[in-house]
Protein backbone atom coordinates (compact mmCIF):
# COMPACT_ATOMS: atom_id res chain seq x y z
CA UNK A 1 0.00 0.00 0.00
CA UNK A 2 1.24 3.49 -0.82
CA UNK A 3 2.47 5.30 2.29
CA UNK A 4 1.49 8.95 2.60
CA UNK A 5 4.15 11.14 4.13
CA UNK A 6 3.60 14.33 6.11
CA UNK A 7 4.35 16.62 3.17
CA UNK A 8 1.72 14.84 1.12
CA UNK A 9 -0.70 15.28 4.00
CA UNK A 10 0.02 19.01 3.99
CA UNK A 11 -0.58 19.11 0.26
CA UNK A 12 -3.70 17.01 0.53
CA UNK A 13 -5.05 19.33 3.19
CA UNK A 14 -4.39 22.36 0.99
CA UNK A 15 -6.08 20.59 -1.88
CA UNK A 16 -9.09 19.72 0.26
CA UNK A 17 -9.52 23.43 0.95
CA UNK A 18 -9.38 24.12 -2.77
CA UNK A 19 -11.68 21.26 -3.65
CA UNK A 20 -14.19 22.26 -1.03
CA UNK A 21 -14.73 25.37 -3.08
CA UNK A 22 -14.48 23.65 -6.41
CA UNK A 23 -17.32 21.22 -5.51
CA UNK A 24 -17.37 19.38 -8.78
CA UNK A 25 -15.49 18.99 -11.98
CA UNK A 26 -15.63 22.15 -14.02
CA UNK A 27 -17.76 22.00 -17.04
CA UNK A 28 -15.26 22.84 -19.66
CA UNK A 29 -15.74 21.26 -22.99
CA UNK A 30 -15.62 22.86 -26.28
CA UNK A 31 -16.54 22.95 -29.86
CA UNK A 32 -14.23 24.60 -32.34
CA UNK A 33 -15.99 26.81 -34.84
CA UNK A 34 -14.95 25.17 -38.10
CA UNK A 35 -16.09 28.10 -40.27
CA UNK A 36 -12.95 30.13 -39.80
CA UNK A 37 -10.02 28.10 -38.59
CA UNK A 38 -6.30 28.88 -38.56
CA UNK A 39 -3.32 26.62 -39.22
CA UNK A 40 -3.84 24.64 -36.00
CA UNK A 41 -7.54 24.10 -36.64
CA UNK A 42 -8.53 26.79 -34.19
CA UNK A 43 -11.09 29.46 -34.94
CA UNK A 44 -9.49 32.86 -35.54
CA UNK A 45 -9.85 35.07 -32.44
CA UNK A 46 -12.37 32.79 -30.68
CA UNK A 47 -14.45 34.09 -27.80
CA UNK A 48 -15.38 32.10 -24.73
CA UNK A 49 -18.98 31.01 -25.01
CA UNK A 50 -21.47 31.61 -22.23
CA UNK A 51 -24.15 29.02 -21.49
CA UNK A 52 -26.58 29.47 -18.61
CA UNK A 53 -24.32 32.14 -17.18
CA UNK A 54 -21.21 29.95 -17.26
CA UNK A 55 -18.21 30.60 -19.52
CA UNK A 56 -16.98 27.69 -21.63
CA UNK A 57 -13.66 27.44 -23.41
CA UNK A 58 -13.98 27.56 -27.19
CA UNK A 59 -11.58 24.59 -27.53
CA UNK A 60 -11.42 21.16 -25.95
CA UNK A 61 -9.96 21.01 -22.49
CA UNK A 62 -11.13 19.84 -19.12
CA UNK A 63 -10.13 20.61 -15.58
CA UNK A 64 -9.49 17.49 -13.51
CA UNK A 65 -12.49 16.54 -11.37
CA UNK A 66 -12.40 16.64 -7.58
CA UNK A 67 -11.95 12.90 -6.99
CA UNK A 68 -9.23 12.62 -9.57
CA UNK A 69 -7.55 15.75 -8.16
CA UNK A 70 -7.59 14.20 -4.69
CA UNK A 71 -6.00 11.05 -6.07
CA UNK A 72 -3.23 13.04 -7.72
CA UNK A 73 -2.47 14.96 -4.54
CA UNK A 74 -2.60 11.90 -2.27
CA UNK A 75 -0.44 9.67 -4.44
CA UNK A 76 2.12 12.06 -5.95
CA UNK A 77 5.39 12.91 -4.21
CA UNK A 78 5.37 16.38 -2.66
CA UNK A 79 8.80 17.81 -3.33
CA UNK A 80 8.00 21.44 -2.50
CA UNK A 81 10.28 21.50 0.59
CA UNK A 82 9.65 25.12 1.55
CA UNK A 83 12.05 25.52 4.53
CA UNK A 84 10.29 25.09 7.85
CA UNK A 85 6.95 24.15 6.29
CA UNK A 86 6.13 20.78 7.87
CA UNK A 87 2.85 19.31 9.05
CA UNK A 88 3.72 19.84 12.69
CA UNK A 89 4.52 23.50 11.93
CA UNK A 90 2.00 23.93 9.12
CA UNK A 91 2.28 27.65 8.60
CA UNK A 92 5.69 28.49 9.91
CA UNK A 93 8.66 29.01 7.65
CA UNK A 94 12.40 29.12 8.15
CA UNK A 95 12.92 32.78 7.26
CA UNK A 96 16.65 32.63 7.83
CA UNK A 97 17.08 30.03 5.12
CA UNK A 98 14.50 31.67 2.85
CA UNK A 99 16.32 35.01 3.15
CA UNK A 100 19.31 33.24 1.62
CA UNK A 101 17.50 31.38 -1.16
CA UNK A 102 14.81 33.95 -1.99
CA UNK A 103 15.89 37.36 -0.69
CA UNK A 104 13.25 40.10 -0.68
CA UNK A 105 14.32 43.61 -1.65
CA UNK A 106 12.50 46.75 -0.67
CA UNK A 107 11.72 48.66 -3.90
CA UNK A 108 13.43 52.05 -4.06
CA UNK A 109 10.74 54.72 -3.81
CA UNK A 110 12.65 57.19 -5.97
CA UNK A 111 13.09 54.59 -8.72
CA UNK A 112 9.38 53.80 -8.74
CA UNK A 113 8.50 57.47 -8.81
CA UNK A 114 10.74 58.35 -11.75
CA UNK A 115 10.54 55.57 -14.35
CA UNK A 116 12.34 56.08 -17.67
CA UNK A 117 10.31 57.92 -20.30
CA UNK A 118 10.93 55.55 -23.20
CA UNK A 119 11.53 52.09 -21.77
CA UNK A 120 9.48 49.68 -19.68
CA UNK A 121 10.30 49.45 -15.98
CA UNK A 122 9.09 46.37 -14.10
CA UNK A 123 9.07 45.51 -10.38
CA UNK A 124 8.12 42.02 -9.12
CA UNK A 125 5.98 42.17 -5.96
CA UNK A 126 5.83 38.35 -5.65
CA UNK A 127 3.58 35.73 -7.27
CA UNK A 128 1.56 37.32 -10.13
CA UNK A 129 1.76 40.89 -8.85
CA UNK A 130 3.88 43.05 -11.12
CA UNK A 131 4.23 46.83 -11.32
CA UNK A 132 4.79 47.83 -14.94
CA UNK A 133 5.64 51.43 -15.77
CA UNK A 134 5.47 52.34 -19.44
CA UNK A 135 4.22 55.04 -21.79
CA UNK A 136 3.25 57.34 -18.92
CA UNK A 137 1.17 54.76 -17.01
CA UNK A 138 1.77 52.84 -13.79
CA UNK A 139 0.06 49.48 -14.15
CA UNK A 140 -0.40 46.75 -11.53
CA UNK A 141 -1.30 43.16 -12.35
CA UNK A 142 -3.30 40.86 -10.01
CA UNK A 143 -2.43 42.84 -6.85
CA UNK A 144 -1.95 40.69 -3.74
CA UNK A 145 -0.29 42.66 -0.93
CA UNK A 146 -1.76 40.43 1.77
CA UNK A 147 0.18 37.88 3.83
CA UNK A 148 -2.15 35.08 2.76
CA UNK A 149 -4.49 34.21 -0.09
CA UNK A 150 -7.85 32.57 0.48
CA UNK A 151 -11.31 32.99 1.95
CA UNK A 152 -9.94 33.77 5.42
CA UNK A 153 -6.55 33.93 7.12
CA UNK A 154 -7.12 30.73 9.13
CA UNK A 155 -7.79 28.59 6.07
CA UNK A 156 -5.91 30.61 3.46
CA UNK A 157 -2.47 29.87 2.02
CA UNK A 158 0.17 31.89 3.83
CA UNK A 159 2.92 33.72 1.92
CA UNK A 160 6.33 32.21 2.57
CA UNK A 161 8.06 35.36 1.29
CA UNK A 162 6.79 38.70 2.60
CA UNK A 163 5.38 41.32 0.29
CA UNK A 164 8.28 43.64 -0.71
CA UNK A 165 6.30 46.83 -0.01
CA UNK A 166 2.86 47.99 0.99
CA UNK A 167 0.26 49.81 -1.09
CA UNK A 168 1.39 53.00 0.67
CA UNK A 169 4.86 52.62 -0.89
CA UNK A 170 3.55 52.46 -4.46
CA UNK A 171 3.72 55.33 -6.94
CA UNK A 172 0.37 56.64 -8.26
CA UNK A 173 -1.37 53.70 -9.89
CA UNK A 174 -3.28 54.46 -13.11
CA UNK A 175 -4.48 50.99 -14.04
CA UNK A 176 -4.93 47.54 -12.53
CA UNK A 177 -5.33 44.43 -14.70
CA UNK A 178 -7.10 41.43 -13.16
CA UNK A 179 -6.63 38.10 -14.96
CA UNK A 180 -9.28 36.07 -13.07
CA UNK A 181 -10.89 35.74 -9.66
CA UNK A 182 -8.87 33.00 -7.89
CA UNK A 183 -7.71 34.15 -4.46
CA UNK A 184 -4.01 34.19 -5.35
CA UNK A 185 -4.82 36.77 -8.07
CA UNK A 186 -7.71 38.81 -6.66
CA UNK A 187 -7.42 39.83 -3.02
CA UNK A 188 -10.21 41.82 -1.41
CA UNK A 189 -7.96 43.45 1.20
CA UNK A 190 -5.52 44.66 -1.46
CA UNK A 191 -8.33 46.00 -3.68
CA UNK A 192 -9.68 47.96 -0.68
CA UNK A 193 -6.21 49.30 0.18
CA UNK A 194 -5.67 50.45 -3.42
CA UNK A 195 -9.08 52.14 -3.48
CA UNK A 196 -8.41 53.82 -0.17
CA UNK A 197 -5.11 55.25 -1.34
CA UNK A 198 -5.82 56.06 -5.02
CA UNK A 199 -9.64 56.10 -5.34
CA UNK A 200 -10.90 57.27 -8.73
CA UNK A 201 -7.39 57.59 -10.17
CA UNK A 202 -7.35 53.83 -10.81
CA UNK A 203 -9.04 52.27 -13.82
CA UNK A 204 -9.71 48.59 -13.18
CA UNK A 205 -9.49 46.37 -16.25
CA UNK A 206 -11.31 43.14 -15.44
CA UNK A 207 -12.72 40.02 -17.15
CA UNK A 208 -16.39 39.82 -18.10
CA UNK A 209 -18.53 38.91 -15.10
CA UNK A 210 -16.37 40.61 -12.46
CA UNK A 211 -17.72 44.17 -12.59
CA UNK A 212 -20.28 43.75 -9.80
CA UNK A 213 -17.71 42.23 -7.41
CA UNK A 214 -15.35 45.13 -8.13
CA UNK A 215 -18.11 47.69 -7.59
CA UNK A 216 -19.18 46.00 -4.36
CA UNK A 217 -15.53 46.29 -3.26
CA UNK A 218 -15.61 50.06 -3.81
CA UNK A 219 -14.02 50.33 -7.29
CA UNK A 220 -15.41 53.21 -9.36
CA UNK A 221 -13.88 52.96 -12.84
CA UNK A 222 -14.36 49.35 -13.83
CA UNK A 223 -13.84 48.31 -17.45
CA UNK A 224 -15.14 44.79 -18.02
CA UNK A 225 -14.05 43.08 -21.24
CA UNK A 226 -14.50 39.84 -23.14
CA UNK A 227 -11.65 38.20 -25.05
CA UNK A 228 -10.26 40.38 -27.87
CA UNK A 229 -12.11 43.49 -26.68
CA UNK A 230 -10.00 46.64 -26.26
CA UNK A 231 -10.28 49.83 -24.25
CA UNK A 232 -7.90 52.80 -24.19
CA UNK A 233 -6.92 54.25 -20.83
CA UNK A 234 -8.60 57.66 -20.53
CA UNK A 235 -5.44 59.39 -19.24
CA UNK A 236 -4.28 60.04 -22.81
CA UNK A 237 -6.92 61.18 -25.26
CA UNK A 238 -4.54 61.97 -28.15
CA UNK A 239 -4.33 59.04 -30.55
CA UNK A 240 -0.50 59.21 -30.61
CA UNK A 241 -0.27 58.73 -26.83
CA UNK A 242 -3.12 56.24 -26.32
CA UNK A 243 -2.45 53.06 -24.34
CA UNK A 244 -4.82 50.26 -25.25
CA UNK A 245 -5.78 47.46 -22.83
CA UNK A 246 -6.81 44.32 -24.69
CA UNK A 247 -8.25 41.31 -22.87
CA UNK A 248 -6.85 38.21 -24.52
CA UNK A 249 -7.45 34.47 -23.97
CA UNK A 250 -5.85 32.00 -21.57
CA UNK A 251 -6.63 28.40 -20.66
CA UNK A 252 -7.87 28.50 -17.10
CA UNK A 253 -11.04 28.66 -15.02
CA UNK A 254 -12.64 30.70 -12.23
CA UNK A 255 -14.11 30.04 -8.82
CA UNK A 256 -14.27 32.08 -5.66
CA UNK A 257 -17.25 30.96 -3.63
CA UNK A 258 -19.94 28.33 -3.54
CA UNK A 259 -21.69 27.66 -6.84
CA UNK A 260 -19.90 30.31 -8.93
CA UNK A 261 -17.64 28.14 -11.10
CA UNK A 262 -16.80 29.95 -14.36
CA UNK A 263 -19.42 32.65 -13.91
CA UNK A 264 -16.51 35.07 -14.35
CA UNK A 265 -14.24 34.87 -17.40
CA UNK A 266 -10.44 34.40 -17.17
CA UNK A 267 -7.72 35.57 -19.52
CA UNK A 268 -4.51 37.43 -20.24
CA UNK A 269 -3.86 41.12 -20.98
CA UNK A 270 -2.07 42.73 -23.89
CA UNK A 271 -1.23 46.36 -23.16
CA UNK A 272 -0.32 48.30 -26.29
CA UNK A 273 1.29 51.71 -25.95
CA UNK A 274 2.84 54.05 -28.51
CA UNK A 275 6.40 53.06 -27.51
CA UNK A 276 6.06 49.77 -25.63
CA UNK A 277 3.98 46.59 -25.49
CA UNK A 278 3.38 44.47 -22.39
CA UNK A 279 1.81 41.01 -22.17
CA UNK A 280 0.50 39.57 -18.89
CA UNK A 281 -0.32 35.87 -19.26
CA UNK A 282 -2.33 35.63 -16.00
CA UNK A 283 -2.83 32.01 -14.93
CA UNK A 284 -2.87 29.50 -17.76
CA UNK A 285 -2.24 26.08 -19.17
CA UNK A 286 -0.59 25.90 -22.57
CA UNK A 287 -2.67 26.32 -25.71
CA UNK A 288 -1.98 27.30 -29.32
CA UNK A 289 -4.13 30.39 -28.77
CA UNK A 290 -0.98 32.26 -27.71
CA UNK A 291 0.17 32.15 -31.34
CA UNK A 292 -2.92 34.21 -32.24
CA UNK A 293 -2.12 36.71 -29.50
CA UNK A 294 1.41 37.01 -30.90
CA UNK A 295 0.09 37.56 -34.42
CA UNK A 296 -2.40 40.19 -33.34
CA UNK A 297 -0.45 42.13 -30.70
CA UNK A 298 3.17 40.96 -30.72
CA UNK A 299 6.04 41.45 -30.53
CA UNK A 300 6.08 42.47 -26.86
CA UNK A 301 8.86 44.38 -25.07
CA UNK A 302 7.91 42.64 -21.82
CA UNK A 303 5.84 39.58 -20.96
CA UNK A 304 5.08 38.36 -17.42
CA UNK A 305 4.60 34.60 -17.79
CA UNK A 306 3.82 32.07 -15.00
CA UNK A 307 6.48 29.43 -14.40
CA UNK A 308 5.33 27.85 -11.08
CA UNK A 309 2.57 25.68 -9.51
CA UNK A 310 2.82 22.92 -12.12
CA UNK A 311 3.12 19.62 -10.15
CA UNK A 312 1.48 17.08 -9.96
CA UNK A 313 1.49 17.44 -13.72
CA UNK A 314 -1.58 15.31 -14.38
CA UNK A 315 -3.60 17.62 -12.19
CA UNK A 316 -2.04 20.96 -13.10
CA UNK A 317 -1.44 20.63 -16.82
CA UNK A 318 -4.81 22.03 -17.86
CA UNK A 319 -4.54 25.13 -15.68
CA UNK A 320 -0.83 25.92 -15.13
CA UNK A 321 2.06 25.85 -17.59
CA UNK A 322 5.38 24.39 -16.52
CA UNK A 323 8.59 26.31 -17.36
CA UNK A 324 8.98 24.41 -20.65
CA UNK A 325 5.52 25.53 -21.76
CA UNK A 326 6.18 29.03 -20.45
CA UNK A 327 9.01 29.23 -23.01
CA UNK A 328 6.50 28.17 -25.69
CA UNK A 329 4.29 31.11 -24.67
CA UNK A 330 7.34 33.41 -24.80
CA UNK A 331 7.89 32.26 -28.37
CA UNK A 332 4.21 32.24 -29.41
CA UNK A 333 3.45 35.79 -28.28
CA UNK A 334 6.82 36.98 -29.66
CA UNK A 335 8.09 38.34 -26.38
CA UNK A 336 11.44 40.08 -26.58
CA UNK A 337 11.94 39.86 -22.82
CA UNK A 338 9.95 37.70 -20.40
CA UNK A 339 9.83 37.71 -16.63
CA UNK A 340 8.99 34.44 -14.85
CA UNK A 341 6.22 34.99 -12.25
CA UNK A 342 3.69 32.91 -10.25
CA UNK A 343 6.33 31.13 -8.17
CA UNK A 344 8.34 31.56 -4.96
CA UNK A 345 5.53 33.12 -2.90
CA UNK A 346 2.63 30.76 -2.06
CA UNK A 347 3.09 27.01 -1.61
CA UNK A 348 0.41 25.79 -4.01
CA UNK A 349 1.92 22.71 -5.64
CA UNK A 350 4.38 19.83 -5.42
CA UNK A 351 7.46 20.91 -7.39
CA UNK A 352 10.47 21.97 -5.29
CA UNK A 353 10.00 25.64 -4.43
CA UNK A 354 13.24 26.60 -6.20
CA UNK A 355 12.69 24.45 -9.29
CA UNK A 356 10.76 26.89 -11.56
CA UNK A 357 13.72 29.19 -12.42
CA UNK A 358 16.09 26.20 -12.67
CA UNK A 359 13.77 24.34 -15.05
CA UNK A 360 13.35 27.56 -17.03
CA UNK A 361 17.12 27.94 -17.48
CA UNK A 362 17.41 24.26 -18.42
CA UNK A 363 14.76 24.58 -21.11
CA UNK A 364 16.31 27.74 -22.59
CA UNK A 365 19.73 26.08 -22.66
CA UNK A 366 18.29 23.04 -24.44
CA UNK A 367 16.64 25.23 -27.07
CA UNK A 368 19.72 27.40 -27.53
CA UNK A 369 17.87 30.50 -26.33
CA UNK A 370 19.80 32.98 -24.20
CA UNK A 371 18.52 33.40 -20.63
CA UNK A 372 18.84 37.13 -21.28
CA UNK A 373 15.47 36.71 -23.03
CA UNK A 374 13.57 35.07 -20.17
CA UNK A 375 14.54 34.97 -16.51
CA UNK A 376 13.37 35.80 -13.01
CA UNK A 377 14.26 38.71 -10.73
CA UNK A 378 14.26 38.94 -6.94
CA UNK A 379 11.14 39.79 -4.96
CA UNK A 380 10.93 43.59 -4.91
CA UNK A 381 13.62 43.98 -7.59
CA UNK A 382 13.15 46.58 -10.32
CA UNK A 383 14.41 46.10 -13.86
CA UNK A 384 14.42 48.52 -16.76
CA UNK A 385 13.97 46.70 -20.06
CA UNK A 386 16.51 48.25 -22.40
CA UNK A 387 17.17 47.73 -26.09
CA UNK A 388 20.06 45.50 -24.98
CA UNK A 389 17.59 43.21 -23.18
CA UNK A 390 15.32 42.87 -26.18
CA UNK A 391 17.83 42.70 -29.02
CA UNK A 392 18.84 39.04 -28.45
CA UNK A 393 15.31 37.80 -29.12
CA UNK A 394 14.81 40.20 -32.01
CA UNK A 395 18.04 39.12 -33.68
CA UNK A 396 17.25 35.43 -33.13
CA UNK A 397 13.79 35.73 -34.64
CA UNK A 398 15.03 37.82 -37.55
CA UNK A 399 17.70 35.19 -38.22
CA UNK A 400 15.06 32.44 -38.30
CA UNK A 401 12.91 34.45 -40.71
CA UNK A 402 15.95 35.09 -42.92
CA UNK A 403 16.90 31.40 -42.92
CA UNK A 404 13.43 30.20 -43.81
CA UNK A 405 12.95 32.82 -46.50
CA UNK A 406 16.06 31.84 -48.46
ZN1 LIG B 1 -6.01 30.55 -11.04
ZN1 LIG C 1 -2.61 31.32 -9.68
Q: Is 278 exposed, middle or buried (0-12, 13-18, 19+ CB in 10 A)?
A: buried
Q: What percent of the chain has pLDDT over 70?
A: 87
Distance (angstroms) between ligand 2 centre and the Cα of 312 equals: 15
Distance (angstroms) between ligand 1 centre and the Cα of 186 equals: 10
Residues 284-317: tens digit of each pLDDT: 999 999 999 999 999 999 999 999 999 999 999 9
Dist CA 338 CA 80 (whole Å) = 24
Q: Give 87's pLDDT tier (boundaries 50, 70, 90).
A: low
Which listed ligand is nearest to 18 at the C-alpha?
Answer: 1
Distance (angstroms) between ligand 1 centre and the Cα of 397 equals: 31
Distance (angstroms) between ligand 1 centre and the Cα of 180 equals: 7
Distance (angstroms) between ligand 1 centre and the Cα of 267 equals: 10
> 339 forms bridges with which residues in the sheet?
304, 375
Distance (angstroms) between ligand 2 centre and the Cα of 39 equals: 30
Nearby residues of 248 by Cβ (< 8 Å), 6 or more positions away: 227, 228, 267, 268, 269, 270, 279, 293, 296, 297
Average pLDDT of span 109-136? 97
Out of 19-23, 76-80, 150-154, 194-198, pick the least confident: 19-23
Distance (angstroms) between ligand 1 centre and the Cα of 115 equals: 30
Which listed ligand is nearest to 266 at the C-alpha?
Answer: 1
Average pLDDT of span 54-79? 86
Which listed ligand is nearest to 181 at the C-alpha?
Answer: 1
Instruction: Pick the more confident residue, 68 or 234.
Output: 234
Q: Which residues have their alpha-adjacent CB atom under 5 A from ion ligand 1?
A: 182, 283
Distance (angstroms) between ligand 2 centre and the Cα of 393 equals: 27
Average pLDDT of span 19-40? 38
Distance (angstroms) between ligand 2 centre and the Cα of 283 equals: 5
Would you state the pLDDT for residue 26? 36
Distance (angstroms) between ligand 1 centre and the Cα of 182 equals: 5
Which listed ligand is nearest to 250 at the C-alpha?
Answer: 1
Distance (angstroms) between ligand 2 centre and the Cα of 145 equals: 15
Distance (angstroms) between ligand 2 centre and the Cα of 387 equals: 30
Q: Please list, residue by residue across 72-99, b when 16 or more beta carbons sit within 10 angstroms of its beta carbon and e when fewer do.
A: bbeebebebbbbebeeeeebebeeeebe
Distance (angstroms) between ligand 2 centre and the Cα of 317 equals: 13
Residue pair 142/128 in contact (Cβ under 8 Å)? The answer is: yes
Distance (angstroms) between ligand 2 centre and the Cα of 324 equals: 17
Would you state the pLDDT for residue 18? 43
Would you state the pLDDT for residue 63? 79
Q: Give 326's pLDDT tier (boundaries 50, 70, 90).
A: very high
pLDDT at 121 over 90: yes
Average pLDDT of span 87-96? 79
> 175 forms bridges with which residues in the sheet?
139, 203
Would you state the pLDDT for residue 117? 93
CB atoms inside a 10 Å sphere around CB 280: 28
Distance (angstroms) between ligand 2 centre and the Cα of 308 equals: 9
Would you state the pLDDT for residue 72? 83
Residues in the chain: 406
Out of 31-40, 104-113, 134-143, 247-256, pick the least confident: 31-40
pLDDT at 132 over 90: yes
Instruction: Pick the more confident residue, 193 or 28.
Output: 193
Would you state the pLDDT for residue 17? 40
Average pLDDT of span 66-93? 84
Distance (angstroms) between ligand 1 centre and the Cα of 252 equals: 7
Which listed ligand is nearest to 157 at the C-alpha?
Answer: 2
Out of 14-18, 64-68, 263-267, 336-340, pick the least confident: 14-18
Ranges 15-19, 258-262, 399-403, most confident: 258-262
Q: Give 166's pLDDT tier (boundaries 50, 70, 90).
A: very high
CB atoms inside a 10 Å sphere around CB 299: 16
Distance (angstroms) between ligand 1 centre and the Cα of 218 equals: 23
Q: Is 349 exposed, middle or buried (0-12, 13-18, 19+ CB in 10 A)?
A: buried
Q: Give 37's pLDDT tier (boundaries 50, 70, 90).
A: very low
Distance (angstroms) between ligand 1 centre and the Cα of 312 equals: 15
Average pLDDT of span 357-363? 98
pLDDT at 25 over 80: no
Written in H, E and C, the secondary structure of the chain is CCCCCHHHHHHHHHHHHHHHHHCCCCCCCCCCCCCCECCCCCECCCCCEEECCEEECCCCCCCCCHHHHHHHHHHCCCCCCCCCCCCCCCCCCCHHHHHHHCCECCCCHHHHHCCCCCCEEEEECCCCCEEEEECCEEEEECCCCCCEECCCHHHCEEECCCCCCCHHHCCCCCEEECCCCCCCCCCHHHHHHHHHHHHHHCEEEEECCCHHHHHHCCCCEEEEECCCCEEECCCCCCHHHCCEEEEECCECCCCCCCCCCCCCCCCEEEEECCCCEEEECCCCECCCHHHHHHHHHCCECEEEEECCCCCCHHHHCCCCCCHHHHHHHHHHCCECCEEEECCCCECCCCCCCCHHHHHHHHHHHHHCCCCCCEECCCECCEEEECHHHHHHHHHHHHHHHHHHHC
Amino acid sequence: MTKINSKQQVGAFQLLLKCFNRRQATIMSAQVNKDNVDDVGLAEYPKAQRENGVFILPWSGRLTGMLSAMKWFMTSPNNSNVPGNTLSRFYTFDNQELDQTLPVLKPVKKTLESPPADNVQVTWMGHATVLVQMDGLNILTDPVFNDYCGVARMIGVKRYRPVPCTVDDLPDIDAVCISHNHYDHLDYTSVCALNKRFGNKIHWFVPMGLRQWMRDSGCKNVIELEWWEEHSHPKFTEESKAVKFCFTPAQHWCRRGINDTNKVLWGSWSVIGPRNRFFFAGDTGYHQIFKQIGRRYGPFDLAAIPIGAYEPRGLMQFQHVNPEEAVDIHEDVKSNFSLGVHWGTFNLSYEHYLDPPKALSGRLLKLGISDKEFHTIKHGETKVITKDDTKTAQERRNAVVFETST
